[in-house]
Structure 1
Amino acid sequence: MNAPQKLFNLCLAVCVLFGCRQAMATDFEPLPRTAAKPGDTAEKIALGKKLFFDPRLSATGTVSCNGCHNLMEGGDDGRATSMGVSGLTGPRNAPTVWNSVFQASQFWDGRAATLEEQAKGPMVADVEMGMVGHDQVIGRIEKIPGYVEEFGGAFGESEAVTIENAVEAIAAFERTLITPDSPFDRFLAGDQSAINEQAIRGMELFESIGCTECHSGPALNNWTGADDDAEFVEFPRFIDSPLVDHYDLGSDLGRLQVTNHDGDERQFKVPVLRNITLTAPYMHNGKVASLSEACRVMASTQLDEELTDKQVSDLIAFMATLEGDFPEIALPRLPSRVGESVIDPSSVSDN
C-alpha cells in the first residue's frame, strides 16, 4: 500500500471512530422526497400520467412522452438519439425524466425554464411527436369524452381542455418522479454502512479532481433550490483532447443555437447524475456507450485529467450508490372514443 493510500485510510478510520464519515461529503445533499407544487392534486397528477403515456398526442399515434423517457427503466430510451414519428431522429440524447424537477432549466440547451414549458416542445417538434401545432393536440384530446371529463374534474372549468392545462397536468405528474433514499442518501443521513470503501474512494476522487465544480447539490447538477438561476457549462472545455474528435463532441453549438450570443457557444446544462448507471449512452449526442468511457471523457475534456482503470472503477462504484428507490408505477387505462379512432388515417404516412 502506498503512502497516500495509507494516509487516506488513516483519515477514514478517524472519521469512522468519531462518527463523522458523512462529513467528508461536503458538496452533496440528500435528494428531497417531494417536489410538489400547490395545486398538484391527485386528479391533476392522474390526468398528467395518462397524457404522459398516451401516444395519440403524436401525429402518427405512435410516440408518447414515455417512448423517449421510459419510466419502466432509467427514464430515457437507451438510444444515442431518440426516434420520433415515422422513424425520424433528432441530434441529441434524451435525458432522464427521473428527478428532472431538480433542475433550473430543461433540454440540453436550457431553452425551457420549467417542466410545463418543456412538455409543450416535443408535441410539435417534427422529429419527435410531429403535431403541426398545439391546436391539433387539443383537437385530439377534445374528441375523447373521457379526457374532457377528466380535465373538467382536475381543473374545475367548463372548458378545461387547453394546452396550458395539459402541460400543467403532465408537469404535476413529472414532479412525482423522484428516486430518494439511495445508498448515498442514507450515507449522508449518517448510515456509515450504506456505501462501501470503494464507493467512498470514488466520492473522494470525485471531489478532489474537481467534478463537484459542476456536479454538487442533491441532484449532483449544481441545483440547490427551486429559485436557482439556470447555469450552463462549456463542453468540451479542453477542445484539444483527442476524445473531442473521437466522439464528435465539438460540433454541437449548444445554447448558442437558442440565444445567438457568441458567449453561449458549446454551453450546455449540467445533467442530473442521479441513477446515472441506468442511462447509457452518454453525452448530449449519445455517442459515448459506457459509463467507464464517460468518466474518461469528462476527466479529459473538462478537467484535463487522465484516469487510471482503478480510478474509473472507484468513480463508478460511487455513482452506483446514486441509484434511488423508484416509485411503483402502474400503466394507466387511457380513455378512448367508442368505435372510432381519434387519428385520421389519411393524415398518417404509410412509412
Structure 2
Amino acid sequence: MKRLHFNLITLACVTLFGCENPDGIADDAQTRDYSTIFTPLPSKTIYPSNNPYSETKERLGELLFWDPILSGDKDTSCASCHHPDFGWADGRILSIGSDGIGLGPQRYGFQVTSIHAPTIMNVAYTGIKNNESDSSFVSGGYFWDLRADTLEEQSLGPIKNPVEMLGYNNNEKEIMADIVERLRLIPEYVTLFEQAFGVTEAVSSENIVKAIATFERKITSPNTRFDRFLSGEQSIFTQQEIIGLNKFIDGGCARCHLGPMLSDNILHLGEAIIGTDIVRTPSLRNISYTAPYMHDGSRARLIDAIADYENRGDLDVTIGEDDFADIEAFLQTVNTDDFYKGIPTIVPSGLTVGGNIN
C-alpha cells in the first residue's frame, strides 16, 4: 500500500477537466444521468404494517432506548453504544458493553465486542432499493452478518448478548421475562405501553422491541446535498465533488455502494470477523459522523478506508492513490448535521439516563 500524499500538483490536477491521473482513473467533471445507480433517500420514514407508527410508541421506545433497566445489571443501555454525540454510533474501534463506564472513545471496561458498532442512523431504510415504493418496502436484514431479518429482531439481540447488555449475572433465556416484570412494576411504563399499543397488560417482550424499533426509525438523515443533487440541483456540487462521484462509479465503488442508502446490504468477502469472512456492505450515509471505519473499526480516517480499496482486483475496484481525495470530497456530500439528537432528562425507572456513560 502506498503512503497517502497530496502535493500542489495533485491538488491542481483534480480541478482540471479531463486531467489524466497517472495512478488512477481519468478526471470527469461532466454530470450524468445517475438515476439507475442512485436515488434520493425518502423524505418520510417508512414503518412496517405489523408495527405502525404512533407518537406514544415512539416516545416509549426512546425512553426504553435510554433506560438501563433493559440490561441485566441495570447499568447499560442501547445508548451506551449508539449515542447522538457520535452519529448514533460510539466512536470506538470496538465497543465496550455490559461492564463499561464512560462514553465513546473514553469508555473503559473488559467486555469488548468482536466487531465495530455501526450507527443506527437510517436503519428504517436498510435494504431499500432505487424507486422502491413505501407500500412494498420492508427493511432488513440487520447485523454485519444479516442474521436478523427485521429491526425488531435486531433490537432484541443486544439485550440477550452477555458482552453487550446482558452481562454474566443473568440468563439469556430468562432475561426478557425479568425485564417485563421490572417494567410492570413501574406505573409510568405500564401506562405508556397501554397507550402505545391500545390494550391492557401491554408490557411484553414483543412490544418492548416494537417500541425501540419505532424510535430508531425516527433517526434519519435525508435531504443531504447529495439528495438535492440527485433531485436536480446539480449546481450544488463543486467540480471536485462531481469528479469524485464519477470516479466512485467508474472505479467500481458503486457496485456495492448504490441505491438510496449507498449500500446493496448484501454479504461480501471481508475481514475474518464474527466467525465468518463475509460481511454486509455498510451504508455510507452520514459517514463523516461515524468514524472509525470498516467492520473491525481499523481505519481512523475516511480517506484511509477509501485507500483500502486501491486497485482491489478481487472486488473489481480500480481506484488509485490520485483518486482518493476526489472520492472523499464526494462522500462529504452524503452528510448532514440535520438529524435527531434528543436525550431524555429522566427515564421512568429512575435509573441514570443511558447507564454508566458519564
Pairwise TM-score range, normalised by the shorter structure: 0.7 to 0.9
1:234 is aligned to 2:269: yes
Equivalent in the alignment of 1:326 = 338
The Cα of 1:40 is off from its aligned counterpart by: 0.8
Which of 41, 44, 49 aligns to 1:34? It is 44
1:223-248 C-alpha deviation (Å, 9 max, x unpaired):
6xxxxxxx21122xxxxxxxxxxxxx
The Cα of 1:73 is off from its aligned counterpart by: 3.1
Which of 300, 303, 307 aligns to 1:292? It is 303
Distance (whole Å) between structure 1 residues aligned to residue 66 and residue 349 of structure 2:
17
Q: Map residues 1-80 of structure 1 onto 2, 5 A cutoff.
A: 4-5=18-19, 12=30, 21=31, 23-24=33-34, 26-37=36-47, 38=49, 39-80=52-93
Which structure ranks higher in relative contact order (CA pairs < 8 Å, sequence separation ≥ 6)?
2
Contact 2:241–2:329 (CA under 8 A) maintained in structure 1? yes
Q: 1:98 to 1:10 in 2, by over 3 A?
A: closer
Query: Amino acid of the residue matched to residue 30 of structure 1?
Result: P
1:122 is aligned to 2:158: yes
Q: 1:317 to 1:157 in 2, by over 3 A?
A: same
Distance (whole Å) between structure 1 residues aligned to residue 283 and residue 28 of structure 2:
32
Q: 1:101 to 1:128 in 2, by over 3 A?
A: same
The Cα of 1:128 is off from its aligned counterpart by: 0.5
Which of 320, 323, 326 aligns to 1:311? It is 323
1:251-291 C-alpha deviation (Å, 9 max, x unpaired):
32x5xx4xxxxxxx522111111011111111111112211
The Cα of 1:330 is off from its aligned counterpart by: 2.9
Q: Percent identity?
A: 35
Distance (whole Å) between structure 1 residues aligned to residue 225 and residue 149 of structure 2:
30
Give the TM-score normalised by structure 1.
0.79
Query: Amino acid of the residue matched to residue 145 of structure 2?
Result: D
Contact 1:22–1:189 (CA under 8 A) maintained in structure 2? no
Distance (whole Å) between structure 1 residues aligned to residue 334 and residue 340 of structure 2:
18
Q: 1:329 to 1:79 in 2, by over 3 A?
A: closer
1:171 is aligned to 2:183: no
The Cα of 1:10 is off from its aligned counterpart by: 8.2
Q: Which runs of 5+ in 1 are unaligned?
A: 13-20, 224-230, 236-248, 258-264, 343-351
Contact 2:46–2:125 (CA under 8 A) maintained in structure 1? no
Distance (whole Å) between structure 1 residues aligned to residue 32 and residue 224 of structure 2:
14
Contact 1:147–1:335 (CA under 8 A) maintained in structure 2? no
- Secondary structure at the aligned position of 1:233 is classed as strand
Task: Give the count of matched residue pairs.
Answer: 300
Contact 2:28–2:246 (CA under 8 A) maintained in structure 1? no
Give the TM-score normalised by structure 2.
0.77
- Secondary structure at the aligned position of 2:262 is classed as coil
Distance (whole Å) between structure 2 residues aligned to residue 206 and residue 266 of structure 1:
25
Query: Amino acid of the residue matched to residue 34 of structure 1?
Result: K
Distance (whole Å) between structure 1 residues aligned to residue 330 and residue 204 of structure 2:
44
The Cα of 1:305 is off from its aligned counterpart by: 4.1
Contact 2:286–2:335 (CA under 8 A) maintained in structure 1? yes
The Cα of 1:324 is off from its aligned counterpart by: 2.8
Contact 1:146–1:336 (CA under 8 A) maintained in structure 2? yes
Q: Map residues 234-253 of structure 1 onto 2, 5 A cutoff.
A: 234-235=269-270, 249=271, 251-252=272-273
Equivalent in the alignment of 2:116 = 93
Distance (whole Å) between structure 2 residues aligned to residue 95 and residue 318 of structure 1:
21
Contact 1:138–1:161 (CA under 8 A) maintained in structure 2? yes
Which of 247, 269, 277 aligns to 2:288? It is 277
The Cα of 1:188 is off from its aligned counterpart by: 0.6
Contact 1:109–1:267 (CA under 8 A) maintained in structure 2? yes
Q: 1:295 to 1:337 in 2, by over 3 A?
A: closer
Distance (whole Å) between structure 2 residues aligned to residue 268 and residue 177 of structure 1:
24
Q: More helix by proportion, 1 or 2?
A: 1
Query: Amino acid of the residue matched to residue 82 of structure 2?
Result: H
- Secondary structure at the aligned position of 1:299 is classed as coil
- Secondary structure at the aligned position of 2:227 is classed as helix
Distance (whole Å) between structure 2 residues aligned to residue 60 and residue 53 of structure 1:
14
1:106 is aligned to 2:142: yes
Equivalent in the alignment of 1:206 = 248
Q: 1:334 to 1:153 in 2, by over 3 A?
A: farther
Q: 1:177 to 1:158 in 2, by over 3 A?
A: same
Distance (whole Å) between structure 2 residues aligned to residue 323 and residue 22 of structure 1:
21
Distance (whole Å) between structure 1 residues aligned to residue 262 and residue 159 of structure 2:
29
The Cα of 1:30 is off from its aligned counterpart by: 0.3
